Structure 1
Amino acid sequence: MAEQRRFAELFHEALTGLTTILEGQGERPRALEFAVRGVEADPLREESHREVIRLQLAAGHPQQAVQQFRTLENVLSKELHAAPVQETRALVAPLLGAAADRLSRPRVAVSASEPGQELARAVPFPSGTYAVLLAEPVGESVPDSDWRSVAQALRRAARQRGAVATSESDRAVAVFPFVESALACATARRPAEPATDALTLRMAVDLGRLEVRAARLTGPVLKHAMHLLRAAKPGEVVCSASAAALATLAPEPACNLVDRGLCQLAREAAPERVFRLERGDPSPADERPRAAAAPSAPSVPAPLTRFFGRGPELTRLRKLLTTGSTRLVTLLGPSGLGKTRLATELANRVGEALAGAVWFVPLATVEAAERLADAVLRAVHDGPGAAGAEPLRQLVEAFGRRPGLLILDNYEHLLPEGGDFLEALLIRTTDLRCLITSRRRIGLRGEREFALQPLPTPGSAATRAQLLRCPSVQLFTDRVQALSPAFQVTAANAATVAELCTGLEGIPLSLELAAARSGCLTLTEMLQSLSRRFDLLVTQDNYRAARHRSVRAAVESSLASLTPELRRFFAKLSVFRGGWTLDAAEEVCGEPLAGDRLAELRDVSLVEADTSGAQTRFSMLETLRELAAEQLPASERLARRHADYYVALAERADLAVDGPEQEAWMDRLEVELPNLRAALAWALANRPTQALQLAVTLGQFWEVHGHRSEGREAVCAVLARAPRTSASLRARGEGLAGWLSYLLGDDERARPLLEAALKRSTRIDDWACASRVHYALGHFALAHERLDESRHHYEQCLALRRAAGNEVGASAALEGLGDVAAANHDYDAARRLIEESLQINRRYGSARAIALGLHRLAVLDAEQGELDSAERAFQETLTLFRQAGDRTSAAGATGELAQLALRRGDPATARARLRESLTEMRELGSARGTAGGLFLLGQAAAAEGDHRGAVAAFEECAAIRHTIGEHSGMAAALEELAQVQRRSGHLPQAVRHYAAAAVLRQATTPDETPPSVSESVADLQGALGTEAFGRAWDEGLAHGKRLLESS
């Protein structure tokens, strides 16, 4: 704790220094921004508040300064039972006192030749945000003397609280640091003034920024205030919505504000809400009926715990319920999702904008819809209301007096009958808006559904900083700290916290119940108990409603209203993972009325429907799915139908993945991946042959969509469990496992699998499988620079596919032959072969196949020095690869763009692109791609003079290439490493690496040693001398031999 306090002090010292520097440079807004960060970091630190207040005063914002002071007062009083010190109070004392020194009275008088002209004096305050008060006499023809009388009266009234100045239009404007001061001035009862007693006035109070120009006031607020003044009736004082909202912050409001509704202030402007001031007796202009008793002070439950997240939801709900025409919003979601807490938080936040007209009515204990009106009336009036009068009529009269928000909590058990009460109430009131929390939609016209989602969860890859910003983690941490104040999210426990909050799905009730176990369980023990979540998530706290004392009770309360048929259907849906479509529900569950059943489940918030894609996709929370599964009798038939459905889906996708619909099918398989995994796991345990069929059918998906490691492990697991499958299916499995192993850089496993697959497929004359294996072996040989062997396999692949009429497959073989030609520096032949392939794919192939052809042509352009053409082509292919979901190829295109930047002499851009490419390659497990990116990263670092970064990159590159057996690539990395070491003065190390690279070159590509290497070796020999050079060279040769033997 001492260490934390020390760092906190250092942080605030740094902020104070930064604000001082920024203010000194004239950047006061930025200084204020950093000062506010200090308050946010520690709301109890009075020095931080004082700095914000000082900067706000200096910037000409006295209203904000006082608001900040009041915030400090509240925080210190609530948390520490203390008050601000004298140094802080002194800053705002002039503003809070009777005489506002900053708005001192004018000093220089001028002659009065026009109405109000006598007030045109040197303006005694700086530009800033102020409350303004305008007044004018009412009449068809007002003499100048009346205008002067009004201006003088305005000046006398404002003397103690503000000041009067003149606008550019020569109108007297009373200016105040606080809205409540302007309102108090407008409504003050003063001794009789003969000059104004006979006049009927109207006045307007507004809030906005004033600018001082040539001793006159200007600014949009004056024009807006004039429009507001014109909207006032004779004898009335009106107030803008912004001024009214700020006035409600005053500890003791000077007057009562009554909402007059929306007014069209200007011809081109949108209508806006206007408020009228009540002085204590009804205004003559108030023509509303007064028969109904006013509702009592609204009672919104005070929160007992901190609130986290839900910022976007609060913004949307506030907009729905305070602007526009929506009058009924239903906040939907299953029990435990935080609907009530969100509603109460919203009520507390919109209360100011609605002048406190917000009522919260809990309905969990109301047993029947017939008692709804009585329950609402009792809550609104804090009693039973008028004896003998109809409750609904009393409510209509009460709510008809002013706009307001009625929140009805836990409405679902009162439906459908309860909809009649709500409809009648809304029809008979014009300014009332309703927010309903419910597990079921109401079903009324005009209802706006708002489906609440769980809190965001961090995922397994989140950093500690991301965890601390994640709402579900914040909630969990706060509730744990209530029991264990010393608990913190640290580097040691961050991964466990992330996994736990993600496993709890961000459901607030689950997070709170899990946190309640922190007194007797460690985080790891909680995580292990998630497999039995209904046993873990239980509490005996009596303050909770029974349905919230366990997650099981919360879920079962949602299921209680279901019919037996609907409950059985809901249980069957537990067979799905991650969601399902309507046709899947019909076929797997054997339910022809699945559409109707799903609509019913959605209406009660047990199922969600996503209509954003081509097909509606349904889903449920994992917590709901687990309880549904408990109610499902063991049914092999249902699991078998689930597996059959998704095997058939994978086979339909496999038929289309080489054509123009590839992208759509790949995206569909990605969405269905949880179901495919479940089907694969069930088939592996019960039908190994079907499991192998599914794993092999997903081959292109595993490869293209970044699931190579998962796909290989799945295929290998099934091969081990299904020794008696057909020779054709087994050959396909071996070939796919070998191909994925090659792509992952695991050549040791790849070659024997590919050779076994080729032998088996050739023996049974399975040309399709044999052609795929030849294609894979062509890649394998090319990577190891065995060009003749590579050409042989590609030619065999091409012959088999052309004999079978498989043009799209033949195009891939042509591309492979183009790669071999390019490796032999026969660029004309390479371009011809790749363009032939591209023509085929433009007619029959997928967007990804076209992108691969364009990518190869771009590589040829780059190798032949056509850098501009290459860059355009790589940018195009990068877009196409991303659209196709091919992350590996997209990362490769990014790497190629990095290489172009390096060749253009822009290593900084190259490194930025390489970081992006390497991140993807590492996540995808692409060893070759990672090694290639590291090689370029080392070159970029060396070009920028970052020798340490270059050494690290080349060393890692060489290690990866050693692991995957790429000897020539390893030699190139060692040569680059030696070059960096030579430049940085590490000469013996450079010699050793040059020697090791020479051994690797001799074993693979002896004719391709760069001339620069020979020159560098000669320079080193001269620099070190014969003896030292020879000793280092021999050590390097021995190291190179060991590398050859061990790879």
Structure 2
Amino acid sequence: MSIPTGTVTFLFTDIEGSTRMWERRREAMQEALKRHDTILRLTIESHRGYVFKTVGDAFCAAFTTATDALESAVEIQRKIDKTDWGEAPIRIRMGMHTGTAEERDGDYFGRAVNRVARLQSAGHGGQVLVSSSTQELLADNLPEHIVLKDLGSRRLKDLDRPEHIYQAQIGGKEEQFPQLKTLDIRPNNLPVQVTSFIGREKEIDEIHRLLNAARLLTINCPGGIGKTRISLHATTELLDIFHDGVWFIDLVPVSGKDGMWQAVAGALSIRSETGIPLDNTVIDRLKNKELLLILDNCEQLVLEAAETAGALLAGCPDIKILATSREALSIPGETVYQIQPLSVPSAAEETQGEKSCAAGISEYESVRLFIDRALQIRQTFVVTNENAPALAQICRWLDGIPLAIELAASRVKMFSLKELYERLGDRFEALNRGLRTAPPRQQTLRALIDWSYDLLDEEERELFMKLSVFTGGWALKAAEVICGSTAPLPVTAPPAWRDFIDPDHNYTYKTEGSIATYNDIKPDLDVIGLLERLVDKSLVIANQTDGSTRFVMLETVRQYGEQKLNDSGKSRETLKRHLHYFLLFVENYMTQVEDVTQNIWDTPIREEYPNIQTALKISLTEKEYYEYGVRIISSLFTYWQYHGSEMEARVWLEQFYPFPDYIQDPLTRTWITLMFGWILSSTLD
């Protein structure tokens, strides 16, 4: 059949409580799902419907007419009711909406799809919900055995305008269902979201699980990851749980402890009483309430937020708090949940045809978000197999940070994906205008990270700036020596060389002898404590593997720190210390290696290789550093030889060899000449 285009009626379905059934009745659910899929596909297709997507147990179908869609939905519910499901009884909730189709490669996108998805999720098993646009088309063509019950106008999460909802009743039978899961089900002040919510299914499920067990859950992540949006999306699905509602409190404009209590009181319409402290009044009013408070953006007054949350939890036994912050509140009973950036295509997948095509990259959340936002800006935006690699690289450059991706997507009105890809070499300049309707701190990436930076004290700023010299992360010792100390590094004469002939009779070397180290250098700053604070404030990420901790910054944050370091006038000295440190690192490592055939990628060299490359680049910037770069190359040369990296060696040697007069040590000068000659002979085309 042909794919419906133009004005299309969408039918979305899913199984109510399927996750729970998978956990409890896995084998029975596997068999039930097969029967479910057969019923839905055959019934939809028999009514001239087109199934364009299935996700788990969810079906997404498109129909040319609203009547076909409704009759298909009703017949599916009848068949589901009559089927004996054994240990895995199935109930399906459905949503129907009619709108303009934005079809591409057999899939549909845009506002109509977003609306039907939200409509379907508001229902319950056995229920068929119909939007007002579909009801209008059915008014004069409604099958005799079906009645549409008016459920009124309701607010659906993530949609900017209410939806008038109807319920399809079969054969005049009025089945009773719980209240619709809309924003109107309980008292709340949750702000309406004007853009769709993309991905994050696992995170939402985990937040629900953690909130079920904890009274205080803090969502922690760097700026721009979307902690506010995630918290709002997660809590809209919990409205039916909290009898007295869910209440959102934005702490951005708040200052001081009194301001905290005023914000809580204002959100819940609690008036102060003469002669009684406001905190006492709030706690007295809430002590018998069953509600959820969202304390958003706690990092700017974390101490006050911690005190307020602690007092509320102690005085009000039936309330729960969901806090969002770039650092933990650090009070008893707190559970902290780290939110990671959106998934991005990996660099390795660019060479895999099926992964770099338009369909292949669309499985990643960052790509899906970019496409969704780009379509809002330019309805003709299309991802093709030709421009898909550029989009994959853009999302990767932007670290999967939702705010960065949204800002980039806003540029498709002016730039093609190829042009945007080229301009993102300096992402801050390309995105410097931002979204006018966003809060001021979110109008550009720089403003966003500025906000985090302004919350740091002087020592934290000092370390944060200097950490930007690292590429690919760093170890604690490197941070202490390079960023936390002013003591000179003991860079002395180059090590002695021990000549030998390898099995292939190639002349090479290995370093030997005593080399100066940095192990005795003590930091002037409390680097451990400062790093811990930067991790708490989500500007640095601590990754623990194999019993050791390695720190890293998101690239967007690192570039910001680099700009601050350049502006501070401390860049040259910090880069010099970086060069000295990794020179000593490489030379010390080489003296300890007994087997020169050891695979480079199985050693500490692999972990620090991005930093070693950065050190080589630094050594090319000034004549006095040049010899240090040559010494690094000399130490790595044997590894490049033995592990098939001669071209890597050649790239670096070609950058250094034209300037032999800069090298003061005669032995080093001799070695670079010999190395260059050998590498040229071994890499001739």
TM-score (norm 1): 0.46
Work out the CA distance in 2 between the residues paired with 1:721 and 1:312: 55
Give the aligned partner of residue 321 of structure 2. 434
Deviation sequence 1:88-140 (CA, Å, 0-9, x none): 9759849989xxxxxxxxxxxxxxxxxxxxxxxxxxxxxxxxxxxxxxxxxxx
How far apart are 1:86 and its partner, in Å? Answer: 7.5
| Pair 1:321 & 2:259 matched | no
Q: 1:55 to 1:674 in 2, by over 3 A?
A: same
How far apart are 1:564 and its partner, in Å? Answer: 2.4
Deviation sequence 1:47-79 (CA, Å, 0-9, x none): 467545533421327997773157869479658
Pick from 319, 324, 340 the counterpart of residue 228 of structure 2.
340
SS at match of 2:313: helix
The question of whether the paired residues in 2 share the 8 Å contact of 1:683 and 1:690 is answered with: yes
The question of whether the paired residues in 1 share the 8 Å contact of 2:217 and 2:336 is answered with: yes
Give the aligned partner of residue 303 of structure 1. 193
Give the aligned partner of residue 718 of structure 1. 656
SS at match of 1:672: helix
Pick from 520, 525, 533 the counterpart of residue 414 of structure 2.
520
Pick from 441, 454, 459 the counterpart of residue 565 of structure 1.
459
- After TM superposition, the structure 1 = structure 2 runs for residues 46-445 of structure 1, keeping only pairs within 5 Å, are 46=66, 47=68, 50-51=71-72, 53-60=74-81, 67-68=93-94, 74=119, 80=133, 82-83=135-136, 85=138, 93=146, 180=177, 247-249=178-180, 297-322=187-212, 324=213, 326-354=214-242, 357-381=245-269, 384=271, 390-401=277-288, 403-445=290-332
Give the aligned partner of residue 731 of structure 1. 674
Q: 1:666 to 1:92 in 2, by over 3 A?
A: farther
Work out the CA distance in 1 between the residues paired with 2:81 and 2:145: 13
Letter in 1 for 2:330: G
How far apart are 1:667 and its partner, in Å? Answer: 4.8
SS at match of 1:434: strand
Work out the CA distance in 2 between the residues paired with 1:83 and 1:426: 49
Deviation sequence 1:839-878 (CA, Å, 0-9, x none): xxxxxxxxxxxxxxxxxxxxxxxxxxxxxxxxxxxxxxxx
Q: Point out the structure with the larger helix share.
A: 1
How far apart are 1:711 and its partner, in Å? Answer: 4.0
Work out the CA distance in 2 between the residues paired with 1:429 and 1:660: 66
- After TM superposition, the structure 1 = structure 2 runs for residues 765-776 of structure 1, keeping only pairs within 5 Å, are none
Q: 1:299 to 1:733 in 2, by over 3 A?
A: same
Letter in 2 for 1:710: E
Work out the CA distance in 2 between the residues paired with 1:503 and 1:396: 47
Work out the CA distance in 2 between the residues paired with 1:353 and 1:92: 35
Letter in 2 for 1:436: A
How far apart are 1:664 and its partner, in Å? Answer: 9.5
How far apart are 1:689 and its partner, in Å? Answer: 3.6
The question of whether the paired residues in 1 share the 8 Å contact of 2:145 and 2:172 is answered with: no
The question of whether the paired residues in 2 share the 8 Å contact of 1:374 and 1:384 is answered with: no
The question of whether the paired residues in 1 share the 8 Å contact of 2:435 and 2:443 is answered with: yes
Give the aligned partner of residue 108 of structure 2. none
The question of whether the paired residues in 1 share the 8 Å contact of 2:482 and 2:578 is answered with: yes
- After TM superposition, the structure 1 = structure 2 runs for residues 653-692 of structure 1, keeping only pairs within 5 Å, are 653-656=589-592, 659=595, 666-686=602-622, 687-692=625-630
How far apart are 1:424 and its partner, in Å? Answer: 0.9
- After TM superposition, the structure 1 = structure 2 runs for residues 887-966 of structure 1, keeping only pairs within 5 Å, are none
How far apart are 1:413 and its partner, in Å? Answer: 1.9
Letter in 2 for 1:248: Q
Give the aligned partner of residue 471 of structure 1. 365
Work out the CA distance in 2 between the residues paired with 1:706 and 1:299: 62
The question of whether the paired residues in 2 share the 8 Å contact of 1:588 and 1:645 is answered with: yes
Q: Which runs of 5+ in 1 are unaligned?
A: 13-25, 98-159, 163-176, 181-246, 257-295, 742-747, 750-1047
Q: 1:340 to 1:731 in 2, by over 3 A?
A: same
Deviation sequence 1:449-495 (CA, Å, 0-9, x none): 22322222224414222321221122222222112101011122112
Q: Which has the higher contact order (CA 8 A, sep 6+)?
A: 2
How far apart are 1:540 and its partner, in Å? Answer: 6.4
How far apart are 1:436 and its partner, in Å? Answer: 0.8
Q: 1:544 to 1:252 in 2, by over 3 A?
A: closer
SS at match of 1:606: coil
Give the aligned partner of residue 483 of structure 1. 377
SS at match of 1:318: helix
Q: 1:590 to 1:410 in 2, by over 3 A?
A: closer
SS at match of 2:248: strand
Bigger drift between 628-637 and 720-729 goes to 720-729
Q: Point out the structure with the larger strand share.
A: 2
Q: 1:566 to 1:8 in 2, by over 3 A?
A: same
How far apart are 1:561 and its partner, in Å? Answer: 2.1
Bigger drift between 702-711 and 341-350 goes to 702-711
Q: 1:88 to 1:403 in 2, by over 3 A?
A: farther
Work out the CA distance in 1 between the residues paired with 2:132 and 2:426: 39
Letter in 1 for 2:395: C
Deviation sequence 1:513-560 (CA, Å, 0-9, x none): 222232233333333332333332233654321111111111111111
The question of whether the paired residues in 2 share the 8 Å contact of 1:657 and 1:666 is answered with: no
SS at match of 2:253: coil
Deviation sequence 1:1019-1041 (CA, Å, 0-9, x none): xxxxxxxxxxxxxxxxxxxxxxx
TM-score (norm 2): 0.69
How far apart are 1:503 and its partner, in Å? Answer: 1.6
Work out the CA distance in 1 between the residues paired with 2:231 and 2:420: 30
SS at match of 1:366: coil
Deviation sequence 1:791-850 (CA, Å, 0-9, x none): xxxxxxxxxxxxxxxxxxxxxxxxxxxxxxxxxxxxxxxxxxxxxxxxxxxxxxxxxxxx
| Pair 1:492 & 2:386 matched | yes
- After TM superposition, the structure 1 = structure 2 runs for residues 693-712 of structure 1, keeping only pairs within 5 Å, are 693-699=631-637, 702=640, 709-712=647-650
Work out the CA distance in 1 between the residues paired with 2:91 and 2:341: 38
The question of whether the paired residues in 2 share the 8 Å contact of 1:49 and 1:69 is answered with: no
How far apart are 1:645 and its partner, in Å? Answer: 1.6
Give the aligned partner of residue 606 of structure 1. 539
Give the aligned partner of residue 529 of structure 1. 423
SS at match of 2:580: helix
SS at match of 1:626: helix
Work out the CA distance in 1 between the residues paired with 2:182 and 2:673: 80
Letter in 1 for 2:533: E
For the pair shown, the structure with the greater C-alpha radius of gyration is 1
Give the aligned partner of residue 494 of structure 2. none
SS at match of 1:297: coil
Work out the CA distance in 2 between the residues paired with 1:570 and 1:728: 38
How far apart are 1:29 and its partner, in Å? Answer: 2.5
Letter in 2 for 1:342: I
SS at match of 1:336: coil
Work out the CA distance in 2 between the residues paired with 1:393 and 1:482: 47
The question of whether the paired residues in 2 share the 8 Å contact of 1:696 and 1:736 is answered with: no
Work out the CA distance in 1 between the residues paired with 2:410 and 2:424: 14
Work out the CA distance in 1 between the residues paired with 2:597 and 2:545: 19
The question of whether the paired residues in 2 share the 8 Å contact of 1:646 and 1:675 is answered with: yes
Letter in 1 for 2:76: L
Work out the CA distance in 2 between the residues paired with 1:435 and 1:720: 61
Q: 1:440 to 1:161 in 2, by over 3 A?
A: same
Letter in 2 for 1:55: I
Letter in 2 for 1:249: L
How far apart are 1:733 and its partner, in Å? Answer: 5.1
How far apart are 1:387 and its partner, in Å? Answer: 6.9
Give the aligned partner of residue 455 of structure 1. 342
